[in-house]
Amino acid sequence: MQLQQPIFSAGGIYKRYSSLLEKLGITTFQDFLYHFPHRYEDFSQIKIISALENGETVTVRGTVLSIKNSYTRFHKTLQKAMITDGTGTIEIMWFNQPFLTKNIKTNDEIVLSGQIQVTGNKISMTSPEYEIISTHNPDTIHTGRLVPVYPETRGVSSKWLRRQIFKLLKENKFTLTDSLPAEIKQQYNFPQLYDALQQIHFPQSYTEVEQAKQRLAFDELFYLQLKALHRKQMWKQRKLTTAFKIDNYKTQIDTMIRSLPFPLTNAQKRELNSIFADLTSDQPMNRLLQGDVGSGKTIVAALTMYMAILNDKQAVIMAPTEILAEQHYKSLSKLFTPLGINVDIITGSTKKIKNKTLSKANNEDKNNKTGPNILVGTHALLYNKADFPNAGVVVIDEQHRFGVEQRALMREKGNNPHVLTMTATPIPRTMALTVYADLDVSYLDEMPFGRKPIKTWLVPSEKRQGAYEWIAKQIGETASQAFIICPFIEESENMQTVKAASVEFERLRKEVFPQLKLGILHGKMKAKEKDDILMQFKNRLFDILVATPVVEVGIDIPNATIIVIEASERFGLSQLHQLRGRVGRGDKQSYCLLFAETKNDQTFTRLKAMETTNSGAKLAELDLQIRGSGDLYGTMQSGYKLLKIASFSDKDLLTKARTAAKTIYSKINDYPLLIEQLLELNEQKISQD
């Protein structure tokens, strides 16, 4: 059998359970084996009945003397059994499980795990885990050991999962290929893959659990890194037709920089130089530009695109929403139209009108004097027939908002263009080195001069009313606007979140700010609707925008100077920082007010960091230390789960995996099993970038 075989295709019980299992993310037998326990029930202490003490959680083994059903009031049933092990007897009770008298018979050998009650001379256990032992079923998996407890779903209990996983491991009908090189296993004293799986599901001790976890976590980080190295290698094989000339165009670039209404920050200059250095190579650039919201990534991208145009190439920039695309279109037009450079846009709504220019761009003469020099767009760029064979530079803004395939597709549409991806979500260094090992990473670690840091306050609940009054006063006096971000309820926005937001909206509108105009924005709205609301807000048609947290408000609304974040403890610091970045984009002083629903020392310290730290990179690092990477980066790439068991906060293991991957990749031809996996990667196109 193949590990990759879909569960449903195996028929029988597998087929029947396949849709339930899918809810747990289990679709193949491999997923099944990699469905790890999130904790263990410690039933490893086995005692004789005469030695049992009140309150302890133990396992006893004995023979069933009797078992029977009895009826209590209200048609409830009670199952009572007596068990002996020669040193004493114990009474067992279960409730409302009449089928037990069919499963458990007098004289059966039974193992029971649970909590002991001793009253007077009577020893008993209520609702213990139990297991019948026989010669063909000698192992206990639910009792008498460290018992794995799994993430469950309705209809799929830990008990059921335990039995199935035990069976899969025991029968071992799959070709489980352990492709981690033997030398690495030896170096770090890792168990074999099969043993590690056996140990994480059915450990003999917590030490075994730890060993297994180390091995399996190492695997994850090692393969991530190996794949990144491979992608880097593949990227290196791409060749540009011609390398860019940079020096010839220094004057033009300098003139443009001097014509800007502001001086570039040192960070912008530095990273622009790195980019220009990349552009002179005949190997296409593959660079990620990270920088907090407002750090000025757009102008860096614009100058990069300008260099492409000076080199007689086109430039394409893709943004995740129409409104962002419009924004880029406007600012790029302002910058370039006076120079006779033609900027055009293609989005879902402009598609029809602009197709003409695009097809021209497609059939252009070699120097492309007819088509647009700069093309701005949304996803519509991808799903249009037109390619951009003359694109010298492709920019992908807010890259994390695009799927892996979309980014790959964008690249394919150009003819080996230089690629600049940008993100405002800074990733801690240790993590970037692993996940983005194939990219060159730039960081704009400096805000434009004169930008006022956003004043941030963690507001105690007794000051809520006062805060509302202050907001109303601010809006009245400075004619500024505010965001109010509703509590974060679920990862993906569901109706519950929307409903909660609507209720909050009504309350704020009627009771708190009756004199102001309020609007609402949530994730269940259509893209067009969202854009309209944002446009109205930008045009000051209302004073306060109430929004659900998953709605990304990536656009520039310089007149918004206040942001209120409800239940802020439910966010990671990076997320809070992202949200906070919605304000502070103009020259007025901006404010961020954090409310929290639960208060403990850890929450307090964490949120207090928001008051003192304005750097996204620092906050991301801090977040990783405090909360670990699980919730933060676990689902970084459009919901694609990156890590199951490893954590990016485990620096030690990260370093080990990185070193190992480098060593192994340098002699990859010696490892046919690994090559096979990397080839699969090419086919599946699951490459990160």
Alpha carbon distance 98, 605 (integer Å): 52
E strand or H helix that includes residue 593: strand 591-594
Stretch that binds ligand ADP, among 168-176, 262-270, 467-475, 481-489 (CB under 6 A): 262-270
> Are 661 and 229 a contacting pair, CB within 8 Å?
yes
Among 296, 320, 371, 392, binds ligand ADP (CB under 6 A): 296
Amino acid, res. 470: W
- What is the radius of gyration, based on Cα positions, of the chain? 31
148 touching ligand ADP, by CB under 6 A: no
Q: Parallel, antiparallel, or unpaired for β 129-133 and 109-119? A: antiparallel
The distance of closest approach from Cβ of residue 448 to ligand ADP in the complex, given in angstroms and rounded to an integer, is 3
Q: Is 373 in the site for ligand ADP (CB under 6 A)?
A: no
CA distances to 143, 281, 405, 544 from 439, rounded to whole Å, are 49, 15, 17, 40
Smallest separation, CB 554 to ligand ADP (Å) = 8
Stretch in the footprint of ligand ADP (CB under 6 A) among 46-54, 115-123, 289-297, 522-530: 289-297
User: Considering only residues 299, 316, 518, 596, which one is a binding residue for ligand ADP as defined by CB under 6 A?
Assistant: 299
Closer residue to ligand ADP in complex, CB, 316/546: 316
Task: Choose between 230 and 297: whose C-beta lies nearer to ligand ADP.
Answer: 297
Q: Which residue has the tokens 């040193």?
A: 87
Residue 372 is a binding residue for ligand ADP (CB under 6 A): no
**Residue type at position 663:** T
> Minimum distance between the CB of residue 558 and ligand ADP, rounded to whole angstroms?
7
Applying CB under 6 A, which part among 32-40, 122-130, 295-303, 647-655 lies near ligand ADP? 295-303
Interface with ligand ADP by CB under 6 A: which range of 7-15, 154-162, 286-294, 492-500?
286-294
What is the distance between the terminal CA atoms of the chain, rounded to a whole angstrom? 32
Q: Is 335 in the site for ligand ADP (CB under 6 A)?
A: no
Sequence-distant (6+) residues with CB within 8 A of 127 are 93, 94, 95, 114
Nearest CB to ligand ADP, comparing residues 291 and 392 = 291
Q: Does the footprint of ligand ADP cover residue 151 (CB under 6 A)?
A: no
Nearest to 522 by CA among 558, 542, 497: 497
Tell which positions 527-566 bind ligand ADP, by CB under 6 A.
556
Looking at beta carbons, which residue is closest to ligand ADP? 296
Q: Which of 165, 293, 305, 458 binds ligand ADP (CB under 6 A)?
A: 293
Sequence-separated contacts (24+) of 525-528 with Cβ below 8 Å = 527/321, 527/322, 527/348, 528/322, 528/349
Q: Which residues of 201-227 are buried (b: 16+ CB within 10 A; e: fewer)?
A: bbbeeeebbebbbbbbbbbbbbbbbbb
Whole-angstrom distance, CA of residue 478 vs CA of residue 504: 25
Taking the least distance from each CB to ligand ADP, the nearer of 62 and 291 is 291
Residues paired with residue 186 on neighbouring β-strands, in sequence order? none
Of the residues 60, 147, 216, 264, which one makes contact with ligand ADP according to CB under 6 A: 264
Q: Which of 222-230, 271-279, 294-302, 478-486 is the region at the interface with ligand ADP (rule: CB under 6 A)?
A: 294-302
Torsion of CA 369, 374, 376, 380, to 10 degrees: 40
Nearest-approach distance from CB 295 to ligand ADP, in angstroms? 4
Using CB under 6 A, count the residues that bind ligand ADP. Answer: 16
Q: Lay out the sheet containing 314-318: strands in order across.
A: 343-346, 374-377, 314-318, 391-396, 418-423, 286-291, 440-444
55, with CB counted inside 10 A (0-12, 13-18, 19+), is exposed
Residue 88 or 586: the one with the smaller Cβ distance to ligand ADP is: 586
Q: Which of 294, 377, 584, 616 binds ligand ADP (CB under 6 A)?
A: 294
Residue 616 binds to ligand ADP (criterion: CB under 6 A) = no
Stretch that binds ligand ADP, among 120-128, 171-179, 263-271, 406-414 (CB under 6 A): 263-271
Does residue 290 touch ligand ADP according to CB under 6 A?
no
Among 198, 211, 295, 304, contact with ligand ADP (rule: CB under 6 A): 295
The yes or no reply on residue 291 touching ligand ADP (CB under 6 A) is yes
**383 with 350: CB under 8 angstroms?**
no
CA distance 498 to 483: 16
Interacting positions 393-432 with ligand ADP (CB under 6 A): 424
Site membership for ligand ADP, residue 586 (CB under 6 A): no
Contact residues for 357 (Cβ-Cβ < 8 A; gap 6+): 344, 371, 372
Q: Confirm or reject binding of residue 144 to ligand ADP (CB under 6 A).
A: no
What letters, b where the CB count within 10 A reaches 16 and e where it falls short, cover 294-315? Answer: bbbbbbbbbbbbbbbbbbbbbb
Is residue 63 within 8 Å of residue 76, measured between CB atoms? no
Whose Cβ is closer to ligand ADP: residue 297's or residue 570's? 297
Bridge-based pairing of strands 591-594 and 455-458 is parallel
| Interaction between residue 268 and ligand ADP (CB under 6 A) | yes
Q: Between residues 293 and 427, which has the closer beta carbon with respect to ligand ADP?
A: 293
The whole-angstrom distance between residue 638's C-alpha and the CA centroid of its chain comes to: 7
In 3D space, the residue among 436, 450, 413, 41 whose CA is nearest the CA of residue 261 turns out to be 450
Q: Which two tokens stand for residue 484?
A: 């109010």
262 belongs to the binding site for ligand ADP (CB under 6 A): yes
Least gap, CB of 494 to ligand ADP (angstroms):
29
- Please state the closest distance from residue 443 (CB atom) to ligand ADP, in A: 11
Retrieve residue 525's tokens. 């709205």
Instruction: Specify the residue, 181 or 377, whose C-beta has the smaller distance to ligand ADP.
Output: 377
In the bound state with ligand ADP, the residue whose beta carbon lies nearer, of 268 and 480, is: 268
Could you tell me where the DSSP H helices lie in 115-192?
Answer: 158-171, 182-188
Site string for ligand ADP, 441-480 (x = CB under 6 A): -------xx-------------------------------
Q: Which is nearer to ligand ADP, 269 or 473 (CB)?
A: 269
Of the candidate spans 13-21, 78-86, 258-266, 387-395, the one that interacts with ligand ADP by CB under 6 A turns out to be 258-266
Tally the residues of the chain.
689
Q: Segment near ligand ADP (CB under 6 A), from 179-187, 205-213, 278-286, 291-299? A: 291-299
Q: Is 320 in the site for ligand ADP (CB under 6 A)?
A: no
Shortest Cβ 566–ligand ADP spacing (Å): 24
Q: Are strands 343-346 and 77-84 parallel, antiparallel or unpaired?
A: unpaired
Q: Does 574 help bind ligand ADP (rule: CB under 6 A)?
A: no
How far apart CA 201 and CA 36 sit, in angstroms, is 7
Name the residues that contact ligand ADP, by CB under 6 A.
262, 264-265, 268, 291, 293-299, 424, 448-449, 556
